[in-house]
Amino acid sequence: MTNRTKRKSFICAINLKGEIKEMKRASGILLPIFSLPSKYGIGCFSKEAYQWIDQLKEAGQSYWQILPLSPTSYGDSPYQSFSSYAGNPYFIDLEALIEEGVLTAEECEEADFGENPDYIDYGKIHEKRFALLRKAYERSNISQNPAYHKFIQENGYWLNDYALFMAVKQRFEGKAWVEWAEDIRKRWANAMEYYQRECYFDIEFYKYLQFKFNEQWTKLKAYANENEVEIIGDIPIYVAFDSADAWASPQLFQFDDNYIPVAVAGCPPDAFSETGQLWGNPLYRWDYHKKTNYEWWCKRIAHCFKLYDVVRVDHFRGFESYYSIPYGEETAVNGHWEIGPGIDLFNTIHKELGQKQIIAEDLGTVTEAVIKLLKDSGYPGMKVLEFAFDPREASDYLPHNYDKNSVVYTGTHDNETLVQWYKGLDKESKAFAEEYINSRTPVKEKYWDFIRLAMMSVANTCITPIQDFMGLGAEARLNHPSTFGMNWKWRMKPEMISDELNAKIYALTKLSVRLSDGMKKVEYKKMQEKILSEQEAKEKVEKEKTAKTKKSTKKAQKIEESVEETAK
């Protein structure tokens, strides 16, 4: 057993004394908001989202894992956003705006959001949905809404910079902030005043979008929590270079005097890529963050826990040490490792924010130092079943190596679906997988064996992408890293979740002892009713038996009396 398998049990929250609070054995389903089967081209906070929560509840699930809710930029990735705080305006439910009277059904129906219901057309969504949202804003009379002003007051620490950033970006025809005029790029006071005045209504528009996003998401999350479904959110470790975060707080990042990155993030060359991965995100000035007692990070994490119940921290190993690539390089070959903040950051977060449920995405190059950081934090790491079946080497991802303090996934948003993955396994790996699961399930249903393997494991939390439960193939993959054009587009159709499938998920969840608290109560009630019914049936039989015995005894007495009378 490796050190990696000796961590304590369950998703955990660590209090100020460093004590671990254990949590229940449970399961959930991964489904991005944009993949929901909502109307008008993209998944959103519509009635279909509420129906999905109902289905999760009926399937006995405790968690709904989503991807970052941030507004997407070029490439449509939720991991490259204009803001680490803002919400994606695409997720605002247009039907709710119709009910408010700021849009009409005809306007929404006439808009061309794309012709293929299976995939999102981001180009048309950007063009048509923003136009409709602008109409809604102009008709909203939002400046007279007290709730709007309260929202601005409570979120001004990030909202004011974000709204100005987006408005100025619009004024510069979408160019990255590094290409803006020097005065506003460097936030000179006179320029800030000028653009705040000149872009007043554009700024208010972007604040309106965030107000509506927050209003609708808060309502949806409350509905999920009322139905005992918790939201697992996702926080990328890095922010995008072209973001309000980098523009508003350049002192947080490794920039030169002209606000150009000195180095950027990525991954070194490995077996999967000879030149490594060049992400391009600006790197943090961790010495500065430490001097501020990690104020920016504490605010960011606190904001995440307003949106989510549990937070998955992406690229956790980057907090131990991170890969630094000189700015301007075309590949990641010439990068090197730098030491990160380590446990000091997480100790500070614990001290400032108290108990928080965090999942550490500890995939990738995992060293002894990373394992120690994970152990010291007490957070559960991740196990991905698709990484397990390589007969040429031992694997921590095989279920017999799990400990309770881990979250097992059949696959993540970056992986192939189970069906696609199994189909593409080489002969040796497939033979090893077959021997390991010891099943003769037909190939077309083989994905259920792997789902069952994950669900029956000791890992206290199991998350399965909805595409795996549905047995979908390559057509439903969410993201293929280092590729562009077809990612983040897949959409679920309403008819894909049948009562039969939901019942099958529920049965497996019950068998693996992962039912939600609500469904445990339902099952307990059923058991009590069954016991009571059986007891009543038994008592009825005993009663009938006693009555029959009494009747037979009485009859015998009568016969005896009759015989005695005759004898006389």
Using alpha carbons, select from 451, 559, 560, 431 the residue that is nearest to residue 511.
451
Residue whose pair of structure tokens reads 């979250």 in the numeric block:
407
Query: Is 417:475 a contact under the CB 8 Å cutoff?
Result: no
Task: Write down the catalytic residue from 361, 362, 449, 468.
Answer: 361
* 361 annotated active-site: yes
* Rg, Å, the chain Cα set: 29
Q: What is the DSSP string of 66-107?
A: ----SPB-TT--TTSBS-SS---GGGS-HHHHHHHTSS-HHH
* 414 annotated active-site: yes
Query: Is 313:358 a contact under the CB 8 Å cutoff?
Result: yes
Task: Write down the catalytic residue from 58, 314, 396, 434.
Answer: 314
* 183 annotated active-site: no
User: How many Cβ atoms are within 10 Å of 398's Cβ, its own excluded?
Assistant: 18
**Which amino acid is it at 532?**
L
Query: Is 488:78 a contact under the CB 8 Å cutoff?
Result: yes
Task: Write down the catalytic residue from 22, 329, 414, 434.
Answer: 414
Cα(381)–Cα(359) distance, rounded to whole angstroms?
Answer: 6
Cα(387)–Cα(425) distance, rounded to whole angstroms?
Answer: 11
Using alpha carbons, select from 94, 80, 81, 167 the residue that is nearest to residue 125.
94
Query: Is 283:254 a contact under the CB 8 Å cutoff?
Result: yes
Residue whose pair of structure tokens reads 């969840």 in the numeric block:
509
Q: At what angle do helices 200-226 and 47-58 cross, to 10 degrees?
A: 20
Q: Which tokens go with 182? A: 């020097």
DSSP H helical ranges for 15-68: 47-58
Query: Is 404:458 a contact under the CB 8 Å cutoff?
Result: yes
Q: At what angle do helices 368-377 and 343-353 cross, to 10 degrees?
A: 10
Catalytic positions, written as ranges: 314, 361, 414
